[in-house]
Chain A
Amino acid sequence: MADNEYCTFRLDRLTFGIEVHQVQEVIRPQPLTGVPRSNSVVAGLINLRGQIVTAIDLRKRLELPERPEGEEAMNVVVRTPEGEVSFLVDEIGDVVHVDETTFETPPDTVQGIARELITGAYKLEDRLLLILDVLKTVQLPATV
């Protein structure tokens, strides 16, 4: 928090940010092994240098439209108390430095589940940087 640096990525037409210290690494598209009968937002498992990491489809998690066919997802691997989790995102952006004073709580333009998972937004010059609550995001609601 202190350094106000965020790793940014794109999902649909939105730009999201995760605090830099929560991000372990960013890796290119990985082969996914699906897990039948698991939560629908779980895209599958990836092999991260011998470690098995659950990949969560952030588009599904945030109830955004599905990623178009043929578009491969990048992995943003985040650290959580329960081990690493990979977020599948559309495109990786820069690490940005933000000005604390430009922060605002979630704007009404964000609706649905996303409102719970987004702590707020930094008003960048050309767009809004939506800040994702990583811990809430990896806590999947119980399903069937």
Chain B
Amino acid sequence: MGAARGRRSGGRSSEAAPVSEIDEIVGEFLVESYENLDRYDEDLLALERDPKDTEVLGSIFRTIHTIKGTCGFFGFANLEAVSHVAENLLGKLREGELVVTKEIANALLATGDALRGMLSDIEATGEEGERDNADLVATLERLHAGAPVADDVPVVTEAPASDVGEDVAIDEDAAPVTDDEEPPTPRLGDLLIEQGLATPEDVALALHAQELGDKRPLGEILMDQSKTPADEVDQVLASQANARGLAESSIRVDVGLLDELMNLVGELVLARNQIVQLVTEDQDSSFASASQRLNLITTELQEGVMKTRMQPIGNVWNKLPRVVRDLALSCGNQVELVMEGQETELDKTIIEAIKDPLTHLVRNAVDHGIEPVERRIAAGKPETGRLVLRAYHEGGQVNIEIADDGAGIDPTRLKAKALEKGLITAQQAGNMGEREALQLIFNAGFSTAAKVTNVSGRGVGMDVVRTNIERIGGTVDVHTELGVGTTFKVRIPLTLAIIPALVVTSQGDRFAIPQLNLLELVRLEGEQARNGIELLHGAPVYRLRGRLLPIVRLDDELDHTRRDDGREVINIVVLQADGHQFGLVVDDISDTQEIVVKPLGGHLKDATLFAGAAIMGDGRIALILDVLGIAQRARVVSQARERSSALSDQDVVAAVDSDRQTLLLVGVGDRRAAVALSEVSRLETFDASTLEWAGGHEVVQYRDEILPLVRLGDAIGVYGTTAGEGPLEVVVHQVGGRPVGIVVDSILDIIEQELHLDDGDGRPGLLGSAVIQDRVTDVLDVAAIVANVDPARFASDAFLGA
């Protein structure tokens, strides 16, 4: 424990130092102690799993010993007293006189908490508080006095346990645990002598030379004097570096400083770019090569600085084993925590931001997810529940999964609970699919815990979890299977500051689209470019693998004058925002690159199309498109496929009442009608000459099937419909997996809005009427309209044969 002693004497000599300096030393002590205590908790849990792990025990011992030693010379008596008794107990463990029991582990964990409490008092007030640790001290002493284990471990009598800390290397044979005691870093000279590579005299001479002002390192002096071969010095140096370990090879840096560095590097990159451009104009070769080097170095510097802000996610996770252990104890269940991908790196700001949400998800999993032991046995599961934390990179994002093998979440119960709390109406509950019901857990004021525990089930939490994750541009999703388990999947960007983005142009201006929102790129050429995008009276759509993808033109959104539509090539960027997909038509797609996101000034608050700006390689600014803003502005929302397929026809009819609806507006005669987009599987246009009659219905041949048609005008009693020669606009609806076409006069628009239904005049085929775009609009009951057409009939072989 030479290090501790050195520190102590150093402390004495600095007593005369100015107050601020002492504060600084105390500050360092606090930071170091907090860190050590975090590791201490982890180590204790590891020790509990494997009481024979002497390495871990050594580490625990050192932590407490260092705290005890350091607080001694600061005069923190309480702190010293508590750590002293804990050290005694640990000494006995090290000697093998005691083995770790749950009780001992609890007491030692409590010690860690008590120490932390006192440290935080010191941090806040500069003095240790008046915390009463008498109980803890008594417990520790009682455990310390406990009978030694009757193993064949040789009992060390020479050194009373209380002295172990002062003199650990006493008897290496009797107590092998001391082997892992951290020695002070061996000095190069000692190592060289030990290995016979240099004589003690040579080393002494070289050291003397250093004292006389020779600034060269010891190894170099020896090499120059040809006393020691160079490669062997290197080798020994390497081994010395290893011995130094992690703790000494890293230093603490203020994050503010890193931020500043990051900004400076950003500027350097721009200056570099300008110089690189100058070179091409001016063919001076020495200048060219110098700037080439500048280029490379700057790139590396930039990467390096970015890396300094990255931290492994393990830094957040390492607090969780303790959380899980304590919580499992108080909930009476057993949980094994498995962590995969701790080394996955994230920007520091993001690490900070996800700390609380993650902890909450883990607490929830232990408290609500994993069942108590009896119930697990009854269900035929292993007694010990498994909680798996998994982190991995995927497509420029980090995915974090929190998976338990507990009881799962029952959507029916969720709905019942939400209903009881008045969060949803009975009708909404009836219409709700499983996935939607699951989303209820993210509602504010929602908790399904039958009993309110002190950890979770207070009805705050999941909504906060979601808000916090979304605030940093992430998403959280939940999958569950009743009786099998629940998995929360959190997706977050790697960093807030630098994001991969796709650069596109509109009228020569560049815009960046965050990769996060990007699904795919579609390029239409020639014939496809001319006809691929179908214009539905102001609502252009593109059929992407048979699905209608609403199309937005970037030019329109930016208020640029649109170039003529006769383009040879159309680039569609398929985007996703808030669960909605749409295609954005851009002039050109340049490439993907990493951009540094910079905020826009407060004066551009109303420019909702943009999420920020970035400085490109040439020093010019490109705006970053806010995909959600564009989607909202253009009011594009594609149908939620999942939802529509999960609901039966009847559900859909009822769903018309719920708040926001995506509606397809059609014209029939002089009236307008609206149909829920979820009811629409396709929009088609048929030439009137392809009409045929079969089975008393108008039909057309459609995708190798026969599509029966219903004229909307006839069905809802609106006459005066032009049954002319023009093409037929058909809304295709599915009944039992078979298509039925509804013929309308025109397709007008796709809109999203709240629907307030009036009862209407009771005409058949209508749910009622509503005011949409300032016009009274009939809202169609599709099921009723197609009720007297049985498309299955048209599909039967008998019919086709007839």
The residues of B that contact A52 with a CB separation of less than 8 Å are 598-601, 613, 615, 621
The residues of A that contact B270 with a CB separation of less than 8 Å are 47, 50
Residue of A nearest to B265 (CB): A50
Complex-state Cα separation, A52 to B607, whole angstroms? 15
Q: Which of A33, A39, A46, A51 contacts B603 (CB 8 A)?
A: A39
- Whether A50 and B601, one on each chain, are in contact in the complex, defined by CB atoms closer than 8 angstroms, is no
B483 within 8 Å of A by Cβ?
Answer: no
A45 within 8 Å of B by Cβ?
Answer: yes
A50 and B603 in contact, given A33-B613, A34-B509, A37-B559 (Cβ under 8 angstroms): no
The residues of B that contact A49 with a CB separation of less than 8 Å are 267
The residues of B that contact A110 with a CB separation of less than 8 Å are none
B602 within 8 Å of A by Cβ?
Answer: yes
- Tell me what chain B mostly uses at the interface: helix, strand, loop, or mixed: mixed
Q: How far is the CB of A24 from chain B (nearest CB, A)?
A: 14
A76 within 8 Å of B by Cβ?
Answer: no
- Whether A45 and B602, one on each chain, are in contact in the complex, defined by CB atoms closer than 8 angstroms, is no
- Whether A35 and B606, one on each chain, are in contact in the complex, defined by CB atoms closer than 8 angstroms, is no
The residues of B that contact A83 with a CB separation of less than 8 Å are 601-602
Q: Which of A37, A50, A142, A143 contacts B615 (CB 8 A)?
A: A50
Complex-state Cα separation, A79 to B72, whole angstroms? 51
In A70-110, the 8 Å CB interface with B consists of 82-83, 85
Q: How far is the CB of A15 from chain B (nearest CB, A)?
A: 25
12 extra A-B contacts, CB within 8 A, seeds A37-B557, A45-B600: A33-B622, A34-B509, A35-B600, A35-B607, A35-B610, A36-B557, A39-B604, A47-B619, A52-B600, A138-B603, A142-B606, A143-B606
User: Which residues of B does A touch, CB under 8 Å?
Assistant: 263, 266-267, 270, 509, 557-560, 598-604, 606-607, 609-610, 613, 615, 619-623
Complex-state Cα separation, A83 to B602, whole angstroms? 8
User: Which residues of A does B touch, CB under 8 Å?
Assistant: 31, 33-39, 42, 45-47, 49-54, 56, 82-83, 85, 138, 140, 142-143
Complex-state Cα separation, A60 to B558, whole angstroms? 21
The residues of B that contact A143 with a CB separation of less than 8 Å are 606
Q: How far is the CB of B662 from chain A (nearest CB, A)?
A: 24
- For the complex of A and B, the 8 pairs showing the least CB-CB separation, nearest first, are A36-B558, A82-B602, A33-B621, A54-B601, A38-B607, A50-B267, A52-B598, A52-B613
A-B contact pairs, 19 of them (CB 8 A): A33-B621, A33-B623, A34-B509, A35-B623, A36-B558, A36-B559, A37-B609, A39-B606, A45-B613, A49-B267, A50-B267, A50-B270, A50-B615, A52-B598, A52-B600, A54-B600, A54-B603, A83-B601, A83-B602
Complex-state Cα separation, A142 to B607, whole angstroms? 11
The residues of A that contact B622 with a CB separation of less than 8 Å are 33
Complex-state Cα separation, A36 to B610, whole angstroms? 9
The residues of B that contact A54 with a CB separation of less than 8 Å are 600-601, 603-604
Q: Which of B560, B599, B604 contacts A35 (CB 8 A)?
A: B604
Complex-state Cα separation, A51 to B621, whole angstroms? 10
**Most chain B beta-carbon contacts within 10 A, residue among A49, A56, A85:** A49
Complex-state Cα separation, A87 to B300, whole angstroms? 37
Complex-state Cα separation, A53 to B615, whole angstroms? 12
Complex-state Cα separation, A82 to B601, whole angstroms? 7
- Whether B558 and A37, one on each chain, are in contact in the complex, defined by CB atoms closer than 8 angstroms, is yes
